[in-house]
Chain A
Amino acid sequence: MSSFPKTSFFSPSRVSIIAASTVTQLVRMKVFLFLAPVALLFVALNFFELPIYQGPDTLVPEQQLRTHKNLCLGTMMFFTSLFAIVSVALIIPSDVEDRTLYTILCKPVPRLDYLAGKLLGVILVLLMAMLVMDFLLVVTLHHRTTSISTDFGRYLSDLGFQEAEVARGQAELAKHGPTWILQYGVIAHFFKACILAAVALLISTFSTSTLFTIAAGVMVWIIGAFQSIARDGLFVDSFAGETPSLADKILSTIISLIFPDFQLFESIADASVRAQEILGDDILKLGGLTLIYLAIYTVLSWFVFADKEF
């Protein structure tokens, strides 16, 4: 006969079991096929060149590299964000419709563990996808940087610059290549995708339709991308020198709690594309903010899911 200890409220072990099952599910669903067009795009970008404008303030080589990085990071951001929303929107409603959820919840599995496990599984798959795309980005960017650097060096030599000056110019150019600063941009996009997965988790706990979950998730993504601009425009008239009223501040805070503000994440990513200095502390703060959002959305999901009847 069975005898088990009291079931704990939250078990990392149970969460990891469900997460591992989710990873297996997504991998066997061949979701990584979406990486194929990404890979093709990254490779194709190697052959994309800006029209050359001659002028004293135009730094064409850096612009080419920034364009390459912008397009690659933008592609990574787009695919991972969409993947985060769609995968959560697919797997939880399918568990309900297929009644797979019944057999799981009829085991000693608290609902919080189930939700956390599903979210963790999606995040792990996101991480794997991000690592693959990051590898492709580094490889193609390195190839592009090397190629442009060689052409730039030849160009400077033809203009009569000394070797040391050519080397300095190439070293400046290399800062716009695959450096650690660029990785901060990748990390920022990964964090953003994790938050979107948590948002989709919350929506899927009360949504009855996969399509609605995806649509609502995309809407939150768009609102999150532009809300700080919208807030500034609605609540602060800087031209008139006004400061927001208390009511405006409260409303603005509520909006930023309901819809995650992705402006900070975008700022980090933009700075990484421009090869600007990014402090490690900023990334840690970003990570902390991500964890807070994940915790809030997961707990909110649990509140909704706890009393859901099947």
Chain B
Amino acid sequence: MSDVNAIEVHELIKDFKGPFRGHSVRAVDQVSLQVKAGEVYGLIGPNGSGKSTTMKAVLGLIRPSSGSCSIFGRDALKVDSRNDVGFLPENPYFYKHLTAAETVRFYGKLCGMRGQALRQRIDEMLELVGLGEARNRPLRGFSKGMLQRIGLAQALVHDPRLVVLDEPTAGVDPTGSREIRDLILNLKSRGITVFLCSHLLEQVQEICDRVGIMKSGTLVKEGRLEDLISLRDRTELILEHAPEDLLTQIRNLVEVTHGAHLLSEAHPRTTLEDLYLDETRDHSKSAHS
């Protein structure tokens, strides 16, 4: 079983017919990708590149025009394959008349969970996503970040082996976004496969093992993140407390070495996100409750 890929997409083609004129639009063109069990795979690309269509084909929400999708070796169009999948859609909506606990219970029951096991799991999921105190609040009063979190809770309630996330941090504030990122890393450490689409490239860079880039319906680049973003012909050195004479020696050495060029020299920077989190950490924890 460990040799079976979590997701196998084989030469997927999806055409959508136009309403009146009848000519079709090819949304996905000969896309093939594999997501290994236990890895975090990011599918990125501009709007309209076919990411969501590919995701929906993997989830069995749409039928491929040609090609196939499978989840842990099972045809994605079969209902059975969804036993192992948890899905968080983009901008998730759930039944607003239900409370947080009722929502997780509803989806847990749909997955065949019952009784004490389900009750325990509901408590675990709500604590995991930080909604323990809001368990009895109707979803109509939830903020976007809270809806994302309840979405994660329902996606994980049945302990799936694969979690599919469509823009998991879209519209979420940086603190919530960092918490979702940490949650994804937690899932990865537990051996759960994560397949996500996101426009936030920095986050994708932080958490994904492998990345696929789509453009105009085709997969234009795919591979391990480190391999894709490494600039093999450049080297970065970061020195701390380096005296000026050492820096001068390094500059001179580069100058006399044939073929080598010193491209830039500057103080490394932190990121705006890290700075924001450092400054707002204590304030945001009380606001989130």
Contacts and interface: CB of A to CB of B under 8 A. Distances in A.
A11 B149 CA distance: 29
A94 to B, nearest CB: 9
Contacts of B62: 309-310
Interface in A1-46: 1-2, 4-7, 14, 17-18, 21, 24-25, 28-29
B276 interface: no
Interface residues of B, number: 38
B95 A4 contact: no
Interface stretch (B40-48, B85-93, B227-235, B249-257): B85-93
Contacts of A6: 80
A99 B82 contact: no
Contact of B61 (A7, A24, A102, A110): A102
B79 interface: yes
Interface in A123-171: none
A98 B96 CA distance: 10
Interface string B95-128: 1011000100011011110000000000000000
A7 B83 contact: yes
B110 A17 contact: yes
Contacts of A106: 59-61, 82, 85-87, 164
A25 B89 contact: no
B63 interface: yes
A106 B161 CA distance: 14
Interface in A245-289: none
Contacts, number: 89
B160 A307 contact: no
B56 interface: yes
Contact of A103 (B154, B158, B161, B191): B154
A307 B77 CA distance: 11
Contact of B89 (A1, A24, A103, A107): A103
Contact of A21 (B63, B85, B95): B95
A109 B191 CA distance: 25
Contacts of B82: 7, 106-109
Contacts of B61: 102, 105-106, 309-310
Contact of B83 (A2, A28, A310): A2
A100 interface: yes
B107 A4 contact: no
Task: Identify which of A28, A29, A104, A107 gathers the most chain B CB atoms within 10 Å of its CB.
Answer: A107
B92 A99 contact: yes
Interface string A42-80: 000000000000000000000000000000000000000
A25 B94 CA distance: 11
Interface string B139-172: 0000000000001001100111100100000000
Task: Identify which of B63, B83, B85 gathers the most chain A CB atoms within 10 Å of its CB.
Answer: B83
Interface of A: 1-2, 4-7, 14, 17-18, 21, 24-25, 28-29, 98-100, 102-110, 307, 309-310
19 contacts: A2-B83, A2-B84, A4-B83, A7-B82, A14-B110, A24-B98, A100-B95, A102-B59, A102-B87, A103-B94, A106-B59, A106-B61, A106-B82, A107-B82, A107-B111, A108-B79, A110-B79, A310-B61, A310-B62
